[in-house]
Amino acid sequence: MDTNIKRRTDKLNVATIILLITTLITVLWWISKVDSQVLANSKWIAENKTMPVMIARIEEKLEGFSKQFDKFTKRVDKFMESE
């Protein structure tokens, strides 16, 4: 009876070791994948330094359109009131 228990625990230990090694490999792979994505994003950000300037220009244009739209709305309102 003791030999059966010993054999089961030996198999369990081998299975546990295999599971731990597989988990370790998976975690290392995941970390390297995340690291490579961070490096790729950092490189993309460094290459696109003109992006904030473009965004600022677009915001200025949107503000201008908003002001023009407000003026147009006021004119339409005045026209509708006059009739």
pLDDT, tens only, 1-48:
556 666 666 667 888 889 999 999 999 999 999 999 999 988 888 887
Domain regions of the chain by residue span: 1-48, 49-83
pTM: 0.45
pLDDT digits (tens, 9 = 90+) for 46-68: 887 787 888 889 999 999 999 99
Distance CA 48, CA 31 (A): 26
pLDDT of residue 64: 93
Q: What single-letter amino acid sits at 73?
A: T
pLDDT of residue 6: 62
| Length of the chain as a residue count | 83
- Widest CA span in the chain: 104
